[in-house]
Every structure is written in structure tokens, then in C-alpha cells.
Chains A and B, each alone.
Chain A
Amino acid sequence: DAKTTQPNSMESNEEEPVHLPCNHSTISGTDYIHWYRQLPSQGPEYVIHGLTSNVNNRMASLAIAEDRKSSTLILHRATLRDAAVYYCILSPTGNTPLVFGKGTRLSVIA
């Protein structure tokens, strides 16, 4: 499985934008980039995914580098409820099971 590298932790002030980076230098051409997050005492939840183009949804935006070797999850206005562990995952063609790393623990300060 292609690997991803994320910072262990990040901190943000409430109501400010947050940019969560992910490096995936060995990504293959058919790997989708998925982001999930896990709130305390909850199972992971889907945030967003993309292949080549930037993606937006109601939760976040995903910016994918032109060479696809890195991506950034953008939370436009962090709230206390966004404090969670964020996982960047590469999913090969064929809908194989997600392989999680350690993720980035995001703390949001009021």
C-alpha cells in the first residue's frame, strides 16, 4: 500500500482556517486520496476524497498538488467540534479496505 506522511499534531484557533498537510510521494496514478476524521470516543467518519482535481463539500476542501505527491485538507473555519484525529488515506483502484496511519491530532483553541 502506498504510504502517507502527516504531522503528528496541529493546533488552531477557533474560527480560523486550518490547513492539514499530507505527503504521499509514492502515490500511483489510480490512487484516490481520502480523508477521514475521528472525534473522541467515536468511529472514524468520512470527510472528503479526490483523485486529481480540488474538491469541495460542506465539511471541507481538498487541495491536491499538480504532481499528486501531496494534498491539503482545508477546514475553512475551525470550530471546537473539529477537534479530532484526521487521517489521510490512499485507496487503490478496486475499493480495497482503507489502511489507516496514525493521522494528525488537531486541537482547536477557543
Chain B
Amino acid sequence: DTGVSQDPRHKITKRGQNVTFRCDPISEHNRLYWYRQTLGQGPEFLTYFQNEAQLEKSRLLSDRFSAERPKGSFSTLEIQRTEQGDSAMYLCASSIGTYNTEAFFGQGTRLTVV
């Protein structure tokens, strides 16, 4: 297993377009997290899944954002009607999900909205 994989690594889109990102977690990990990071800031939590169930969503996650993890394996994050303020690095992480285990992060998808 090569770790958490995110695709694409970079995405440039025009304002108003929809974009979708994919995250493949480490295979035996049942928890999957999405974060967003802007320049000079730490990662901000967006949402997380335990298997296929979405357990928590941050208030940062507007109704233009939706995340799925249909079979408890890979996950997708979709942003509809993108805005320039959505430009950021989108990070995915996974963990085994037991008490206080480490989270493994992917390298992220950098979104630029022009």
C-alpha cells in the first residue's frame, strides 16, 4: 500500500463550474477525513466518514459542498458552482479509527478557481 492517494493533484477551473476530487485511503482504514488548507493557515476540518457513514460536517462545509464514501472505501468531494474563495489545497486523511491512532494524509489536491 502506498498510502493515501488523491486525484487530481492540481485542478484549475472557471468560476461557476463544478469540480470533483477523489481520495483513496489506506485499505484497512475505516475513517476518512477531508480538510481544506489556505496559504499560511493550518488545515481546516470539513467532514469525516466512519466506513460509509458521514459522521460530522463542519459549518465551513456550505451546501455547495458534498462528500460521499459509497462503499466505505474511496471518497469523493464535490464543489458545485465554484467561487474564487474555494481556491485552496484539499487534503484527505485516513485512520484505523480506534482510539487516538495516527492519521495519514495524502498530498492534497490544489484547486485554483479563476
B-binding residues in A (CB < 8 A): 32, 34, 41-46, 49, 85, 87, 91, 93-103
Contacts and interface: CB of A to CB of B under 8 A. Distances in A.
A44 B41 CA distance: 12
Contacts of B33: 97-98
Contacts of A87: 42
Contact of A97 (B45, B98, B106): B45
A46 B41 contact: no
B102 A91 contact: no
B108 interface: yes
A43 B108 contact: yes
Nearest to B97: A95
Contacts of A91: 100
Interface in B69-93: 91, 93
B105 A95 contact: no
Q: Is the interface of B mostly helix, strand, loop or mixed?
A: loop
B107 A101 contact: no
A41 B107 CA distance: 7
B103 interface: yes
Contacts of B103: 44, 46, 98
Nearest to B108: A43
A95 B48 contact: no
Nearest to B46: A97
A46 B97 contact: no
B104 interface: yes
Contacts of B31: 95
B81 to A, nearest CB: 26
B2 interface: no
Interface string B23-58: 000000001010100001111110010000000100
